[in-house]
A and B are shown apart, each in its own frame.
Chain A
Amino acid sequence: MNAKANVWDMDELRLITGAMVILGGATGILVVMPYLLLQNVTPPAALKPYTNEQLVGRQSYIANGCVYCHSQQPRDTKQAPDAKRGWGRPTVAGDYAYDTPHLLGTMRTGPDLMNIGARQPSKDWHLGHLYQPRAYTPGSIMPSYPYLFEVRKGQPKPGETVVNLPPALAKPDEVVVAKPEALALVSYLLSLDRTYPALAGEKR
């Protein structure tokens, strides 16, 4: 058999060149072009940068892996009833101007959180819900986060935030105190609010 006649046959150089050209093409389309197109997106005026405490809370959101069950990207009503569930309008690139690392998420084991601050603005609710989700949402499979709280007998010290638990969960001689990490996390959750209108002209 004449091997040279086979146009598909290969040597090392063709392999390396071909492999790099193809990777370059894919990177150009999926990484470089979005980079060029999105680098000049301006943050909407109504979107405030995160405060230091909110950034600490965002770090806690990352550290505890909230992103593995919660997305931050409501879809268009043409595709899914996200808006009708109160999750908000479909987001645009500008909504994420301060979101690095991005937390778009890929799962909805729990609901979308892009506008959780607007949908559930109660700090008490969030603290109690982190302590024991099932006390607020029966049937929820969200983990409870006892390590973000301190449970002890007696009175809270001055300056401490006591979690106001629902009567079924509260014990008379016990206080549940939120650790600073829990407070920061809730402050981040409350900051999640993209209810302002999407920038005119910004297309998806």
Chain B
Amino acid sequence: MDFTVSLLLGTFLLSVAALFAFVWSMSTGLFGDGTAAATQIFAPNELGTVEDPAATAAQKGKLQQTMDADRRDRMSVADAEARSRADGSTSLVVGVCLTLAVVWLVLASLAGLISSIKLHAPDWWVQYDWLTFGRIRPIHLNLVAYGWCSLAGIGVAIWLIPRLLKTELVGARYALVGGALWSIGVLVGTVAIATGHSDGLEWLEFPWQIDILLVVGGGLVGFPLWLTLLQRKVEHLYVSVWYIGAGLLWFPILFLIANWPGLHFGVQQAAMNWWYGHNVLALWFTPIGLAAAYYFIPKVLGKPIYSYNLSLLGFWSLAFFYSQVGGHHLIGGPVPSWLITISIVQSVMMVIPVFAVAVNQHLTVLGNFRVLIHSPTLRFIVLGAMMYTATSVQGSLESLRTVNTVTHFTHYTVAHAHLGLYGFFSMVMFGSIYFIMPRVMNSEWPYPKLIALHFWLVLIGFAIYFIWLSIGGWLQGLAMLDEKTPFIRSVALTLPYLQARSIGGGLMTLGHLIFAAHFFAMGWKFGPKRLGAALLGPSLFSPRLAKGAVA
């Protein structure tokens, strides 16, 4: 017991010390604005120039006007050519990864919608074992997590690498093989769940034989980063590089330990399960989502992030605190109480990295909110960044014992999980893909109105989803805690909320179908050809480079 107490005390003191160090560093001005590193993502003379390949010429004009109407400086032709080559070096591998991601997104959405409907229509489509709720729900989760989110994240991360290091990508073929292995793993793993061969652990359903594909694939997609780092032409590593580099290192290790056959047992396995379950968010999806947000927000605006030093403190504190929060999933469970207490403390400490990210991303946009009207990319990414703050603060509160006692075991947690992986991560990925694909395909999005339609459908759909499911989940939790209320009441009262969730989910799925149709229309060069190439904006280019890139 002494050991437990001292461990607890140690963690607590460390956390408090970190908090004071943070406050001190804030007060001594260590986090003054921009250093050389913050402008690393721009070419010389590029600051003040907006960039959004997803925007139409008219939108681009208004975007530039909003940010800096008297823009005179131009980036040099040599720099523009270098960037063009850097973007070109990732085209194939990024195109493949993002295409696979979009396919997984459509399948995952359909699986999610079916699961949602089944919760209020329990006798619908029950004849087939592979469609039973207990299989289609984990299929949804795995397709979202390892299909859509992971492959979109990998594609976006690989695309960012040459941009961040100002050189061409080295070793793209490793990532291509890695992405292919990964996708095969997702496909076979999904079939395994559908046919009843799940490993039985949430987030870890794929059988371990299939997991090998994801470990090797996940390791391989990291190769180009390390190889390209050796060639880098930048002095500082921008904060996005840290997030991507750490994420690509962390995931294969997490997944390997979590799936090691025969290693974990009983209650220890439950602790491991949530160490993994929360770390796949903390150390895989969140780093890549934040890396993208940290690149695209300043890049679209043509203005460095508010405080570079703060972003770095945010990185380390995120890694430290977030990696230990998993135990809060087992509050009230048969695991050692010190473990749960540590996780609660660290969950609350998460306010530090969240504050760092929030200050940086929101203050960079602050005063320029009109850009959201003109930039399709930022509309998604800024919304995603706001959802990150919201889901993180909600997560910290939810880990407190009093709140958790109500929300644990209810749909409230499901709504919270979607706020993170959908509201934050998926939104950032949508925005990133809208920015990236024109550079990959060398053509503009054929139907800009569909981008707006996608945005409003998923925004309204998700708002319905989140708000109603959260309320339903909270009421469900209160009903379960009241011993005089029969259990079945806690089931019955959720029905209208579950139906609302299906409506919201239906709108989201519709938005994804439109997104996918638009994506493939672009891929097959279908639709009006207004422009040959959506490069860096006509005004930036020498006529030689801008062949066909003039509106």
Contacts and interface: CB of A to CB of B under 8 A. Distances in A.
Instruction: Tell me if B's interface is mostly helix, strand, loop or mixed.
Output: helix
A168 interface: no
A169 interface: no
B91 interface: no
Contact of B272 (A11, A19, A31, A71): A31
Nearest to A202: B334
Interface string B302-340: 000000010011001001100110110110111111010
A138 B486 CA distance: 13
Contacts, number: 242
Interface in A128-153: 133-134, 137-147
B487 A68 contact: no
B249 A111 contact: no
Majority secondary structure of chain A interface residues (helix, strand, loop or mixed): loop
Interface stretch (B65-73, B147-155, B262-270, B422-430): B262-270
Given A75-B332, A79-B332, A64 B266 contact: no
Interface in B130-166: 132-135, 137-138
Contact of B319 (A22, A133, A145): A22
Nearest to A90: B334
B487 A85 contact: yes
B129 A23 contact: no
A9 B49 CA distance: 26
B198 A63 contact: yes
Interface string A32-47: 0111011101000000
A189 to B, nearest CB: 14
A85 to B, nearest CB: 6
B250 A19 contact: yes
B392 to A, nearest CB: 18
A67 interface: yes
A12 interface: yes
A29 B235 CA distance: 36
A73 B395 CA distance: 22
B272 A30 contact: yes
Given A9-B37, A10-B312, A22-B320, A93 B334 contact: yes
A20 interface: yes
A19 B250 CA distance: 8
A100 B269 contact: yes
B13 interface: no
B267 A102 contact: yes
A1 interface: yes
A92 interface: yes
Nearest to A81: B483
12 contacts: A30-B274, A30-B327, A30-B339, A41-B267, A65-B198, A79-B332, A96-B266, A99-B266, A101-B199, A102-B266, A106-B409, A109-B411
Given A12-B237, A29-B324, A140-B122, 4 more contacts: A20-B249, A23-B253, A65-B133, A144-B122
